[in-house]
């Protein structure tokens, strides 16, 4: 059974007196251990789909089976619980807390997950070291470069050891060299740690690190294919 299974997902938003449908029936499966890039022009429905995948928003109709559970049946608390257990997030704008050290930023999701203080500290340190930020742990976001801030955000996204990592335009604010470094990190997390990744981007260079590319246009999936020209972190 697929880890992620979207079945004929539609999404409408209130618009004037009526509703505007922006997803017109999305079908998309992701198997455990895959690294999937979601591509398409601005407004094609990538973020709306990602918000549904991340249990941040619900489909208007259709089904979403996450790890065998029909997510549409869950109430708000159950959704939050499955989200905490299953999914880490990385956003374009990093979304780090200002005037808060890298270490404290990475400890934050473990607070919600109920991990004890000592272990929060140890695990946050470990993950930051793994992200190459061992000497930056006590810096605030404002004292870090864009690439370093995004590495803190990735550390925060994986520190709860969720099996899925979701990223929406994670390199959108970065120059191309830094963006390559960040994409190699994602690829390493996928290949070495088996983390399943879904990543939204409109840049082919960024998508080239994924194992599979799903194209969106006007609220529909227009193609879904293995990435034959995958770039290797190990290469």
Ligand X SMILES: Nc1ncnc2c1ncn2[C@@H]1O[C@H](COP(=O)(O)OP(=O)(O)O)[C@@H](O)[C@H]1O
State the residues that interact with Mg ion by CB under 5 A.
Answer: 47
Among ligand X, Mg ion, none, residue 194 binds (CB under 5-8 Å by kind): none
Stretch that binds ligand X, among 43-51, 72-80, 170-178, 223-231 (CB under 6 A): 43-51
Q: Does 59 bind ligand X (CB under 6 A)?
A: no
Beta carbons within 8 Å of 215's beta carbon, 6+ residues apart: 39, 40, 221, 222, 223, 224
Q: Does 44 bind ligand X (CB under 6 A)?
A: yes
Q: How far apart are CA 31 and CA 71, in angstroms?
A: 17
Residue whose CB is less far from ligand X, 18 or 98: 18
Q: How far apart are CA 132 and CA 91, in angstroms?
A: 19
For 164-183, letters b (16+ CB in 10 Å) and e give bbbbbbbbbbbeeebbbebb
Q: Looking only at residues 186 through 215 of this chain, which bind ligand X when binding is defined by CB under 6 A?
A: none
Pick from 39, 47, 88, 153 the residue near ligand X by CB under 6 A: 47
Q: What is the dihedral of CA 128, 131, 136, 139, to 10 degrees?
A: -70
Q: Looking only at residues 115 through 174 of this chain, which bind ligand X when binding is defined by CB under 6 A?
A: none
**Structural contact between residues 211 and 34, judged by C-beta atoms closer than 8 angstroms:** yes
CA–CA distances in Å: residue 30 to residues 124, 170, 183 = 28, 19, 19
Q: Which of 82, 76, 146 is nearest to 113 (CA)?
A: 82
Q: Does 48 bind ligand X (CB under 6 A)?
A: yes
**Coil, helix or strand for 118?**
helix
Stretch that binds ligand X, among 29-37, 40-48, 119-127, 190-198 (CB under 6 A): 40-48
Stretch that binds ligand X, among 36-44, 63-71, 90-98, 131-139 (CB under 6 A): 36-44
Using CB atoms, what's the residue nearest to Mg ion?
47
Q: Does 54 bind ligand X (CB under 6 A)?
A: no
Residue whose CB is less far from ligand X, 12 or 125: 12
Q: Least distance from C-beta 93 to ligand X, angstroms?
A: 14
Among ligand X, Mg ion, none, residue 101 binds (CB under 5-8 Å by kind): none
Number of residues in contact with ligand X under rule CB under 6 A: 10
What are the DSSP calls for 45-84, one per residue? SHHHHHHHHTTSS--SEEEEEETTEEGGG--HHHHHHHHH
Q: Looking only at residues 8 through 27 of this chain, which bind ligand X when binding is defined by CB under 6 A?
A: 13, 22
Chain residues that interact with ligand X, rule: CB under 6 A: 13, 22, 40, 42-48
């Amino acid at each position: 059974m697929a880890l992620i299974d979207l079945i004929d997902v539609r999404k409408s938003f209130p618009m004037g007196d009526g509703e505007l449908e922006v997803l017109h029936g999305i079908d998309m499966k992701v198997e455990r251990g895959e690294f999937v890039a979601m591509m398409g022009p601005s407004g094609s429905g990538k973020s709306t789909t990602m918000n549904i995948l991340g249990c941040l928003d619900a489909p208007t109709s259709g089904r979403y089976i996450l790890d065998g559970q029909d997510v549409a049946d869950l109430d708000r608390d159950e959704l939050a619980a499955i989200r905490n257990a299953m999914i880490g997030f990385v956003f374009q704008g990093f979304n780090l807390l200002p005037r808060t050290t890298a270490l404290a930023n990475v400890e934050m999701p473990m607070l919600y997950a109920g991990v004890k203080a000592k272990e929060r500290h140890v695990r946050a340190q470990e993950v930051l070291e793994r992200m190459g930020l061992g000497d930056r742990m006590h810096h605030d976001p404002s004292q870090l470069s864009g690439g370093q801030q995004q590495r803190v955000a990735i550390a925060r996204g994986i520190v709860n050891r969720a099996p899925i990592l979701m990223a929406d335009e994670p390199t959108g604010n970065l120059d191309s060299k830094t963006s390559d470094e960040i994409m190699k990190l994602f690829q390493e997390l996928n290949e070495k740690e088996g983390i399943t990744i879904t990543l939204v981007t409109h840049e082919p260079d960024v998508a080239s690190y994924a194992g599979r590319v799903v194209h969106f246009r006007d609220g529909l999936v227009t193609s879904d294919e293995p990435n034959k020209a995958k770039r290797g972190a190990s290469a």
